[in-house]
Amino acid sequence: MAKEKKKTTRQAYGITVLKAADPRVRAQKKKHAPCIHGNKFWNVSWCVMDFLSHQGLRPETRVLDIGCGWGLAGIYCAKNHGANVTAMDADAAVFPYLQLHAEINGVEIETWRCKFEKVKKKDLRQTNLIIGADICFWDEMVEPLYKLIKKAVGAEVGQIIIADPGRPPFHELSEKVVEKLGGEVKEWEINGEVQADAYLLIAGTLP
C-alpha cells in the first residue's frame, strides 16, 4: 500500500504556514540561515492573531511587526484585516522566508532591516499598531525594547502588543512598561484550531 504523504503546511486563522519539512522551506534553508532565532515560526504568534481576531482591526491599519522572523503575525493582519504591514527584523536572512509566506498567502509586506535599538521616534509616526512575538528572550533586549515602546508612546502609536511564553526578560520589560508607561499583561490561551498560550503585554488602544 502506498505510504500516505505527510502534510507540510498548516492552516489556521486564515493563513497558511509552511512546516520545516516543506520543500520550499528546505530550499531556502540551503541559502539563508537566520542567526537570532528567526529560523522558524514561533508559537506565541498565534496568540497575537487570536487577540486581534477578538479585538478587531480596521482595514488599512498601519502595522509594524518588530522582530518579525517569518512574519506570520503581520501576514495575518494583512490577509484577514486588510492592514498595511511593515515587517522589521535585525537579521536580513529571515526575509526570504517572510516573502515566501507572503506569496503563498497572497499579500504584500514591506520589509525593513533594523535593530530595536536603532528605531527612531520619527520612524514610528505613521504606525497605528506595533506587534512583536517572542522578541524579548535575552536580558540585554529589555532596555532597547523599553526605549522603543517609550518612543512609540511618544509618537502616538495607538497600540503595542508584545507576546511571550513567559521568559524572565519579558516579565522585566512588562513590569517596567506597565509601571512607567501604562498598559497591562493578559494571560492568553487558545484551544481551538491551534493550541497555544502566551502573556500579552498590551499598551494603548486602537480607535
Residue ranges that bind ligand SAM, judged by CB under 6 A: 36-38, 41-42, 45, 67-70, 89-91, 94, 115-116, 133-135
Task: Select 45 or 105, whichever has its Cβ closest to ligand SAM.
Answer: 45
Least Cβ distance, residue 207 to ligand SAM (angstroms):
25
Least Cβ distance, residue 40 to ligand SAM (angstroms):
7
Amino acid occupying residue 103? E
Contact assessment for residue 176 and residue 170, using Cβ atoms and an 8 Å cutoff: no
Task: Select 142 or 203, whichever has its Cβ closest to ligand SAM.
Answer: 142
**CA-CA distance, 102 to 96, in Å (whole number)?**
10
Task: Select 3 or 70, whichever has its Cβ closest to ligand SAM.
Answer: 70
Task: Select 89 or 123, whichever has its Cβ closest to ligand SAM.
Answer: 89
**CA-CA distance, 89 to 73, in Å (whole number)?**
13
Least Cβ distance, residue 50 to ligand SAM (angstroms):
13
Residue keyed to cell 534553508: 29
Task: Let me know if 161 is exposed, middle or buried by CB neighbors in 10 A (0-12, 13-18, 19+).
Answer: buried
CB-CB neighbours of 135 under 10 Å: 26
Contact assessment for residue 36 and residue 59, using Cβ atoms and an 8 Å cutoff: no
Task: Select 76 or 116, whichever has its Cβ closest to ligand SAM.
Answer: 116
- Count of residues for the chain? 207
Least Cβ distance, residue 2 to ligand SAM (angstroms):
34
Q: For residue 204, what is its C-alpha cell?
A: 494603548
Least Cβ distance, residue 164 to ligand SAM (angstroms):
10
